[in-house]
Chains A and B, each alone.
Chain A
Amino acid sequence: MMKSRGLAKFLSVIVLAIIVAYVAFYGVNAGNYSIKPVQDSIRLGLDLKGGVYVLEQAQGNVSQDAMTRAISIIRNRVDALGVSQPLIVQQGPNRIRIEIPGVNDPDQVISYLGQTAQLKFIGPDGKVILTGADVKDSKAVYQTDQTGVQEPVVTLDLNSKGAKAFADATAKFVGKQIAIVLDDKTISAPVVQEQIPDGKAVINGMKDFDEAKNLANLIRGGALPVTLKQVEYSSVGATLGPSALKASEEAGMYGLLIVLLFMIAFYRLPGLIADIALGIYILINFIVYALLHVTLDLPGIAGMLLSIGMAVDANIIIFERMKEEMRAGKSIRASLDAGFRKAFVAVFDSNITTLIAAFVLFFMGAGTVKGFALTLIIGVISSMFTAITVSRFLLKSIVETEFTKNIRVYGA
Chain B
Amino acid sequence: MRWNNIKWNIDVIGKTKVWFTISGIIILAGLIALFTIGLNWGLDFTGGTVIEFNMHKPVTIAVNNEITNILKSNGVKDSQVKAIGPNNTHVSITTPSLDDKTRTAVINAIESKYKLTVKDLVSSQNVSASIGKEMQFGTILASAVAALLMLIYIGFRFNFEMGAAAVLALIHDILIMISAYALLRIVVDTPFVAAILTVFGYSINDTIVIFDRIRDNIKLMRKASYKEIANVSVNETMTRSINTVMTVLLMLSLMYFFGPASIKDFALPLLIGITSGAYSSIFIASPLWVIFKDKEGKNSVGNKVGNRPQKA
Contacts and interface: CB of A to CB of B under 8 A. Distances in A.
A47 B247 contact: no
Contacts of B5: 323, 327, 411-412
A357 B146 contact: yes
A353 B208 contact: yes
Interface stretch (B63-71, B223-231, B256-264, B304-312): B256-264
A352 interface: yes
Interface residues of B, number: 70
A407 to B, nearest CB: 10
B145 interface: yes
Interface string B197-210: 11011101110110
B237 to A, nearest CB: 7
Contact of A255 (B100, B153, B254): B254
Interface string A243-281: 110011011101100110010011100000000000000
Interface stretch (A119-127, A147-155, A364-372): A364-372
A234 B124 contact: yes
B128 interface: yes
Nearest to A323: B5
Contacts of A111: 100, 104
B263 A369 contact: no
A356 B255 contact: no
A357 B151 CA distance: 12
B248 interface: yes
B92 interface: no
Given A105-B118, A305-B255, A354-B201, A364 B142 contact: yes
A78 interface: no
B187 interface: no
A349 interface: yes
Nearest to A106: B124
B11 interface: no
A232 B45 CA distance: 12
21 contacts: A47-B262, A104-B119, A111-B100, A231-B127, A237-B122, A248-B263, A299-B194, A309-B251, A312-B244, A320-B243, A327-B5, A345-B212, A350-B209, A352-B153, A353-B204, A353-B208, A357-B198, A361-B193, A361-B197, A369-B190, A369-B193
Contact of A231 (B107, B128, B145, B208): B128
Given A55-B131, A349-B212, A357-B198, A267 B260 contact: no
A297 B260 CA distance: 12
Nearest to A373: B194
Interface residues of A, number: 77
B206 A350 contact: yes
Secondary structure of the B side of the interface?
helix
A265 B138 contact: no
B208 A316 contact: no
B59 interface: no
Interface of A: 47, 55, 104-107, 110-111, 114, 230-240, 243-244, 247-248, 250-252, 254-255, 258-259, 262, 265-267, 298-299, 301-302, 305-306, 308-310, 312-313, 316-317, 320, 323-324, 327, 342, 345-346, 349-358, 360-361, 364-366, 368-369, 372-373, 376, 411-412
A339 to B, nearest CB: 12
Contact of A230 (B100, B119, B202): B100
Q: Which 8 residue pairs of A and B lie closest in terms of their CB atoms, listed nearest first?
A: A350-B205, A309-B248, A244-B260, A357-B201, A354-B201, A234-B125, A364-B142, A251-B258
Interface in B99-139: 100, 103-104, 107, 118-119, 121-128, 130-131, 135, 138
B240 interface: yes
B291 to A, nearest CB: 23
Contact of B4 (A254, A266, A352): A266
B135 A366 contact: yes
Interface of B: 4-5, 44, 100, 103-104, 107, 118-119, 121-128, 130-131, 135, 138, 141-142, 145-146, 149-150, 153, 157, 190-191, 193-194, 197-198, 200-202, 204-206, 208-209, 212-213, 216, 236-237, 239-240, 243-244, 246-248, 250-252, 254-255, 257-263, 266-267, 270
A349 B208 contact: yes
A231 B130 contact: yes
Given A306-B248, A358-B198, 4 more contacts: A234-B126, A244-B261, A244-B262, A323-B5
B125 A107 contact: no
Contact of B260 (A235, A243, A411): A243
B124 A356 contact: no
A299 B4 CA distance: 34
Contacts of A265: 4
Given A55-B131, A323-B5, A360 B263 contact: no
Contacts of B44: 366
Contacts of B157: 349
